[in-house]
Structure 1
């Protein structure tokens, strides 16, 4: 199983990419749908909201009056934190429940509009960002969805910036063209990168990157930081440190740099214990002549990596 995080600004065209992936077998988990489900009429989540914000957040038929809740929940940081303290654990638990129910060989597609804002990127094997320039998105929201222009501008401004999305994007899909062009690009990513990545993770297979990047040429410090965060998410408290140490060259393409990371642990027993979490996360073990290091490669055909797990000296 691998987990793919899909995100993009409002009006960017994320649904076209989601539909393409789903049509080819993705196991879809929709964050917006879950957020509505956990506070539906009659749920414990809705009861908690009523207790926190009052009976007037209910509609006449006992459902959630979302505008009324927003009027109360977004007036201050404290009220927003209260809302999040109720909804986020419920959303997280339901998301985990659905993920646990996925087949072992699934490609789990987690469709999350606020993935960047929620600092969720490190918890996926890959993050796919769908992008369109702000003026294109604004026009789509007004002309195709019938939104008020001022409201659309406000929603766009409240979300992550393009720079913030770039920082977490493993795959950057430009949607300045037609829906068919975006669907074709998404299908190419699915067939050439996502499916092979899933297969490589299942086989615990290290590969050299074999496809062209689907993002712009990376800023290596940003890519290193992204990989460091991803490895931290996999190793957790078992590591003393995770560091980006620089780059080396791909065996088949000396001109193509490969990020190198070091994970420092207490001893070789701790290093061995990280073999499976790293492999399941896309960093399978590889052979080494050094008995004091447990090296890992990358199962991602689009991005190489070398991760050395070594005891503290």
Structure 2
């Protein structure tokens, strides 16, 4: 099952996106509809609201007087917190029932207006945000829905800011244009989601050829969302989760593939995580090219080669390739991934050298048709430079008193 979180500010057009995706085959779970269901006349939910906010929020026919509730619940933070304390458990329990009833191979789209406010993004395979400028949303709410402007602004003020929602978005859909403009973009998203769901079902990872691109300033934000998702999936088994590799070094050319290291207590724990990682969209890759610079890193010592072992997973999402390295806390490979990243950030000359090495390696394999072969040859071409760079990185760490931050 692929779970997608859909959100956006009031008046942004989430219903249009959910309608199109529902027509294409997604199982749509609408939090607003569920919120209405759990407070229908005679429900424990309505009784709980009345107990909290008074009988004045209930109409004579026993239904919820929504304007009366809004007047009481959206006036200040304390009142909203009281409303949420009643509604969130009810909506959560009913949502879980609906999601659990969906087919195992379904794409489940959960339309959640307060997804960002509730910090729920890491629970989903992807978060889709429908984005519309605030003043345009005000106009739509007033002109198209007939909502008083003061009410519209009060509701918007109670929600996350546009910047907060954009920061949470794995996919950002710009709905500022005329009606219908978004349709093609949503259909393209559906193609990505269906391929993603199939990859999760078949435990298929996305592998890309070693082609360098200019540094993308959004890589850190993308990695932040990815690491949050992995922390949630791995729970207490993950001692730390770090963005590593070239995309973690500002300004450095790199393959457009995020690398994340999950530090675990043992390889046995890493093996125990294989199933939950695969379900979360990160199947295990049994065979992986070594990207660790052993044995040069162990010059002066006799480290057991087994201490460089790791477990390797990769993303199933065709829209965001990523590598997930599970390494044991304190083992040489785990330490080196962090030292090397921080050394490159600190040392301009090392960065310049590494870029040239990467460019030469990428050029050497540019004509290779098989992706796995190209990746292996690319890694091998960088090895001679790594032999010396690994020692230099460790010398830098000792000289500066480096500690894993």
Do both proteins adopt the same fold according to a TM-score greater than 0.5, normalized to the shorter chain?
Answer: yes
1:56 aligned onto 2:73: no
Equivalent residue for 2:126?
126
Q: Which residue of 1 aligns with 2:166?
A: 166
Kindly state the Cα deviation for residue 74 of structure 1 after the two structures are TM-superposed.
Answer: 4.4
Alignment of 1:94-109 (within 5 A): 94-109=94-109
CA distance in 2, matches of 1:248, 1:133: 30
1:180 alignment partner, SS class? coil
- Kindly provide the CA deviation profile for residues 162-199 of structure 1, in whole angstroms up to 9, marking residues without a partner as x: 221121111111112232221111011111x1110111
Q: Partner residue of 1:179? A: 179
Pairwise CA distance, 1:75:
5.1
TM-score of the aligned structures, taking structure 2 as reference length: 0.70
The answer to whether the Cα contact below 8 Å between 1:10 and 1:156 also exists between their aligned partners in 2 is yes
Larger Rg: 2
Deviation at 1:36, TM superposition (A): 1.2
**1:181 match: secondary structure:** coil
Query: 2:283: which partner in 1?
Result: 284
Tell me by how many angstroms 1:72 deviates: 4.0
In the TM superposition, what are the counterparts of 1:232-251 in structure 2 within 5 Å?
A: 232-247=231-246
**TM superposition shift of 1:13:** 1.7
Higher-helix-fraction structure: 2
State the 1:89 CA deviation. Answer: 1.1
Distance of 1:144 and 1:81 partners within structure 2: 29
Of the candidates 302, 314, 327, which is equivalent to residue 297 of structure 1?
314
Q: 1:257 to 1:295 in 2, by over 3 A?
A: same
Structure-1 residue corresponding to 2:226:
227
How far, CA to CA, are the matches of 1:270 and 1:199 in structure 2?
27
Q: Indicate if the aligned counterparts of 1:138 and 1:149 stay in contact, CA closer than 8 A.
A: yes
Q: C-alpha offsets along residues 108-154 of structure 1, whole Å, 9 cap, x if unaligned?
A: 00011121111111111111111122232222222222222333333
Report the structure, 1 or 2, having the larger strand content: 1
8 Å CA contact 1:123–1:233 kept in 2: the answer is yes
Mapped partners of 1:160, 1:75: distance in 2: 16
- Root-mean-square deviation over aligned CA pairs: 2.2
Q: Which residue number in structure 2 is paired with residue 116 of structure 1? A: 116
Checking the alignment, whether the CA contact within 8 Å between 2:220 and 2:247 is kept in structure 1 is: no
SS in 1 for 2:180: helix
The C-alpha deviation readout for 1:240-280, integer Å capped at 9, x for no partner, is 1112124369xxxx854211111112212211111111111
1:13-69 C-alpha deviation (Å, 9 max, x unpaired) = 222111110001000100001111112111122222233333333221222223333
CA contact (8 A) 2:116 2:164 kept: yes
Aligned to 1:309: 326
Indicate the residue corresponding to 2:199 in structure 1. 200
SS in 1 for 2:61: coil
The question of whether the paired residues in 2 share the 8 Å contact of 1:7 and 1:112 is answered with yes
1:271 alignment partner in structure 2: 270
The answer for unaligned runs of 5 or more in structure 2 is 210-215, 291-305, 331-405
Distance 1:159 1:242, change over 3 A: same
Alignment of 1:139-154 (within 5 A): 139-154=139-154
Do 1:282 and 1:300's aligned partners in 2 also have CA atoms closer than 8 Å?
A: yes
8 Å CA contact 2:219–2:247 kept in 1: the answer is: no
The aligned counterpart of 1:83 is 83
**Pairs aligned (count):** 302
Change (3 A) 1:218 1:2: farther
